[in-house]
Every structure is written in C-alpha cells, then in structure tokens.
Amino acid sequence: MDDLTQQAPESVPAAISTAIVQCTREYTGRGPTKARTTISDDLVAVVLQDTLTKGERSLADSGKSDMVIDIRRCFQTTMREAMTKRVEALTGRKVIAFMSDNHIEPDMGVEIFVLEPLSGNHDGSIG
C-alpha cells in the first residue's frame, strides 16, 4: 500500500473524544453519540451529547432529573481515574484537576481536564 492510501493517524482531540466515549460506555453500558474535544494550552474540554441511558431518560421524563444528575455524578467519580489515565496517555501530560457535569435538556455533558503546565507556571493560572 502506498503512502497516499494509508489513513492519517487520528488527531489527539479526536482520540480523546473516542477514549471518553468508550470509557463512558464501559461504565454505563451506553456511550454518548457525539463528542467534541477542544485543547487549549493546559485545558482539555470534552463536550458530549446524547449521554443518557434509556433508564436515565425515563427517570428524567418522569420528573426525577435531580436523581439522574446524582447518578451521573456517581459514575463520573467512579470513572475519574480511568478517564484521567487515558487523557494523560494521549496528551503525554499529567492531569492535575478533573471536573465533570451533566445537563438533562439538552442532553449534554462535559468532562474538563486541567493539565500540568508545560512551562514553570505553577501560580495557578492557565495558559
């Protein structure tokens, strides 16, 4: 096969999106159907869409959105280490902070990873 027919390697943001979707599927039984990762300096933000399982959607539709958010927070705490390791492996940098949240309508979630600064910047500022 010549070089023109080989697929280009997946970009780091795309690889992170894939890893986060796969991790979510491993823990919840269903992953989001859309994910987009943005990397800016020391910040990795993954925006997820269509995240809820059928059971969570049923609970939300019956007025139990707070319960669904609580369940998601439990999953996010449980997935923290696995997600962090995947982001570290893909970026080659240490994750120093992880934050996660979900929204019911629209059905979206976000995973935020703050990376250790590349420079000697340890004053708490990003960038």
pLDDT of residue 2: 43
Pairing of strands 95-103, 108-115: antiparallel
Quick check: is 3 in a domain?
Answer: no
Quick check: is 4 in a domain?
Answer: no
pLDDT of residue 10: 76
Quick check: is 6 in a domain?
Answer: no
Quick check: is 126 in a domain?
Answer: no
The residue with greater pLDDT, 7 or 86, is 86
The residue with greater pLDDT, 118 or 58, is 58
Q: How many CB atoms lie within 10 A of CB 119?
A: 8
- DSSP three-state, residue 86: helix
Q: Which two tokens stand for residue 25?
A: 């599927």
pLDDT of residue 1: 40
pLDDT of residue 92: 96
Quick check: is 71 in a domain?
Answer: yes
- Summarised one tens digit per residue, pLDDT across range 5-60 is 444 557 999 999 999 999 999 999 999 999 999 999 999 999 999 999 999 999 99
- In angstroms, rounded to a whole number, what is the distance separating the alpha carbons of residues 92 and 94? 7
- Render the burial of 15-50: b for 16+ CB within 10 Å, e for the rest: bbbbbbbebbeeebebbbeebebebeebebbbbbee
pTM metric for this prediction: 0.85
pLDDT of residue 126: 52
- Summarised one tens digit per residue, pLDDT across range 89-108 is 999 999 999 999 999 999 99
Which residues span the domain enclosing 97? 11-115
pLDDT of residue 9: 58
Strand order, beta sheet including 108-115: 34-40, 43-49, 108-115, 95-103
Quick check: is 123 in a domain?
Answer: no
| Contact yes or no for 24/79 (Cβ under 8 A) | yes
Q: Looking at residues 96-125, what average pLDDT do you find?
A: 88
Quick check: is 62 in a domain?
Answer: yes
Q: How many structural domains compose the chain?
A: 1
Quick check: is 102 in a domain?
Answer: yes
